[in-house]
Amino acid sequence: MTRLPAEGRCRATIDAVLPNVDDGRYPLKRIVGERVAIEAHCYADGHDRLRAMLLWQIVADRQVADRQVADRQVADRRVADPEADVGEVYEVEMTADVDDVWRADFLPRVPGLYQYAVLAWVDPFDSWRHDLERRDDVQDIRVALSVGAALIEGAADRAASGDAESLRSWSAGLRTAANDPRSDGGRLKTMALDTGRTELARRHADRRFATRRDYTLIVDRKRAEFSAWYELFPRSSAVQPGRHGSFRDVEEQLPELARMGFDVLYFPPIHPIGRVNRKGVNNALAAAPTDVGSPWAIGATEGGHKAILPALGGFEDFHRLVARAAELGIEIALDLAFQCAPDHPYVTAHPQWFRRRPDGSVQYAENPPKKYQDIYPFDFESADWPALWRELKSVVDFWIDQGIKIFRVDNPHTKALGFWQWLIDAVKREHADVIFLAEAFTRPKLMLGLAKLGFTQSYTYFTWRNSKRELTSYFIELSTGPSREFYRPNLWPNTPDILPEPLQSGLRPVFAARLVLAATLSGNYGIYGPTYELLESAARESGSEEYLDSEKYQLRHWPLHRPDSLRSLITRVNRARRENPALQSNQELRFCTIDNDQVIAYWKRDAASGNVVLTVVNLDPLHVQSGWLELDLERLQLDPRMEFQVHDLLSDQRYLWRGPRNYVSLDPQRMPAHVLRLRRRQRRENDFDYFL
C-alpha cells in the first residue's frame, strides 16, 4: 500500500519561487544594499483565504557578524529589526495579485550566508473574517461570532502574555455580544472586524499546516560586483633592468596605480619556486642557472604555499605593502594555485597526495599537447583526501590572516568540484568578505557550475568574442539569462597565458577598443597591466596565444611611462566607471540597433540614481565607421520632443541629440569609442543635469 504523507492537511501549494538557481539547489547571489525581491506562486483548493510569508535570517558566526554590522551604511525601515542579528528570523508579509503571484522583499546589510523561506498556509482566521464581511443575516452573524471567538482564543494560546490577554478579552467580548439579543448585525460585525485587534490575531496565526520552501543566498560586499584589476609580476617591478623586483618596488608603484583607478592589484604566486625540472625562457625544458622559473611551480627548500619567495622580501615587507595599498584604496589579490613543484615539502611529507605513474614516479601535470614537467597536481581521489582538503583550507586561512581577502583561483576546473563547494562555504562562513575569482576557460556548463558552487566572480569567453554578433549574443546571455542570478563576469582582454589573435596585430585602436568594451560591459574587469599598457603583441610562434619572452618564465623590464603607453586612456576609463553608478554593476544592459556591423552600441542604467551611460565602439581598427543609432526613448524616459545631451567621458566633448535616431562616427586613429553619459535639459536654458 502506498504510504500516506507525513501531513495530509497542508492545503497550500507553492508552485514556484523566483528567482532561483536550479530550484534552490544552489544559492542566489546579491550585493550588500541590493534588495532581494522574491516572487512565489502560491494557491490552495477551495475558497478559503491564503497567507504567505517571506522568512529570512543571517547564518554566520556571531563575532564575524558583529564586525560586519559595525560597517553598515544602508538603512531600511521595512524589516522587523534593522540590526539583523545572526540567527534571528525576520518575517515579511507577502502580497498577492489576481494571478496568485505573491511578492515580498528584504534588504541585506552585511555580507554573509543567508537563508530564506516562503511559507504559505490556508488561514482559518482570515477565511472567517472574509466570510463574515459578506454576511447580512443577523443570526448567521451571531453564529459566525462564536466561531471567530474560538479562533481568536486559539491565537491567544499561541501568543505571549501581553497579546494573549488582549485577544482573550476580545474573544470573550464577541461571545457576550453574540448572545446578547439587543445586538444588531452591524454592531456585531464592527466588533468582529476591528482592525487593530485583527492585526493582533493575524500576528499569531495558526501555521500548523503550512507549506514551506527553503533557499539560500550569498550576499557579497560591493567589490564583488565592481572592481578594476591590475595584474603584475612583483619580480618584474624593479626600476633597473635585469634586477629582481621586490615588494618594496611594487610599493613604489602603488600611488600611480591608485591614480589610474585600479582597486585590486593581483599577483601571480609569490611563493618559493621549485628548482627540480625548472622551466627556462619561453618554456624551455632546460633552464639556465640564472633562470627564475615559473611562479606556478610552487615550493622548494625554502617552503611551500605558506612561504614567500625570499627575493621578493619577507613577511614584514609583505604586510607593509598590504597596509600601504589599503591606505590608497587598493586590495592585494593573491593567486591560489593548488599544485606543487617536485621539490615542494608536501611531496616528501605527504606522498599519498600525488598520483603515481607505472614506474613509481609522480605524474606531472599535462593538458596534451602541453606538458608541465615542473608541476605536480594533487590527487583529489587520494584515500587521504580529508587531510588534503583540510591542509589546503589552512593555506587560505593562513593568507587571510596576513590580510588577504581576494583570491584568483588558478584552473579550479581541474580540481574536485566538491572540494571547492566545501572550501568556499567553510571560508565564507568565517570570513564573509572574502572574494574568489574562478580562472576557468573551459566548457560552458562547467564554468557555470563553478559559479553555482560559490565562486564570487568568473572569467569569461570575452577574450575570444570579437565581432558585433558574438559580443551581443554573449552578453545578452550573461545579462538576461538564468546565469545572471549567480554568475558575475570578470572581463580580461589578455592574461599572462593568453595573447588573443586581435592583440597580436599590435594596433593601438584594437587595445583601446577592447579596454573600453571590458570596462563598460561588466562591473568587474582586469588587465595584465604592463603588457596591456605598452601594447605588447609578439606571440611566441605563429598560431600561438603565448607571449614571446613570456614573463611567466623570465624577468621583464617595463618602461611604463613610455610616450605611447595607454596609461592616460586607462585612467579616463576608470574615472568614468567610478563616477557613474551605471557602470558599476550588471543590473541593466541593453544593446542598441545601429545600421553598421562594425559599430556596437549599448547602454547601462543604475536604477537607484537613474544614471545612464551609452557606449559606442568602432570594432574596425583601420577605418572610420559611422551609422544611425536608435535609442529606446520610452525605456529611457526621454521626451522625443526635447533635446538631450550626451557627454563623452573620454574626450570631454558634448553633443545635443533629439529623438530616437542619432548619427555617430568614430575614427579609430583618434579614438575608437564613445563613453557617453546621458543628460537631459533642465528648465533653465543651457543647464543640464544627470539623466534621471
Identify the segments of the chain with pLDDT beneath 50: 62-82, 690-692
Residue 54: predicted pLDDT: 98
Strand locations in 337-449, DSSP E?
Answer: 339-340, 365-367, 370-372, 376-377, 406-410, 435-439
Residue 462 to residue 487: CA distance in whole angstroms = 14
Query: Which of 263, 374, 439, 648 is labelled catalytic?
Result: 439
> Hey, what CATH topology would domain 589-690 get?
Immunoglobulin-like (2.60.40)
Q: What is the pLDDT of residue 161?
A: 80
**Is 297 exposed, middle or buried (CB count within 10 Å of its CB: 0-12, 13-18, 19+)?**
buried
Residue of 335, 410, 433, 536 marked catalytic: 410
* φ and ψ at residue 537, rounded to 5 degrees: -140, 0
Q: Give residue 97's pLDDT.
A: 92
**DSSP track, 556-594:** ----TT-TT-SHHHHHHHHHHHHH-GGGG--S-EEEPEE
| 612 touches 582 (CB < 8 A) | yes
Is-contact 335 266, C-beta < 8 A?
Answer: yes
Q: Is the dihedral of CA 275, 276, 282, 284 positive or negative?
A: positive
Dist. CA 13–CA 594, nearest whole Å: 47
Which ranges in the chain are annotated with CATH 2.60.40.10?
Answer: 12-123+209-219
Q: Which pLDDT score, from 0 to 100, does residue 683 have? A: 56
Separation CA 55–CA 448 (nearest Å): 28
For domain 125-203, give its CATH number from 1.10.8, 1.20.58, 1.10.540, 1.10.3470.
1.20.58
Cα distances from 389 to residues 102, 322, 418, in angstroms, run 43, 27, 10
Q: List CB contacts of 674: < 8 A, sequence separation 6 or more.
A: 614, 615, 616, 617, 646, 648, 650, 651, 664, 666
pLDDT score at 178: 83
All cell numbers assigned to 427: 571560508
Residues of the chain with CATH 2.60.40.1180: 589-690
Residue 439 falls in the annotated catalytic set? yes
Residue 84 pLDDT: 66
What φ, ψ does residue 680 adopt, rounded to 5°? -120, 155
Q: Give the CATH number of domain 12-123+209-219.
A: 2.60.40.10
Pairing of strands 331-336, 406-410: parallel
Q: Cell numbers 546579491 correspond to what residue? A: 30
Residue 223: C-alpha distances to residues 228, 437, 492, 517 (Å)? 9, 12, 17, 20
Does 588 qualify as catalytic in the annotation? no
Cα dihedral 634, 639, 641, 643, rounded to 10, equals: -120
> Which residues make up the CATH 1.20.58 domain(s) of the chain?
125-203
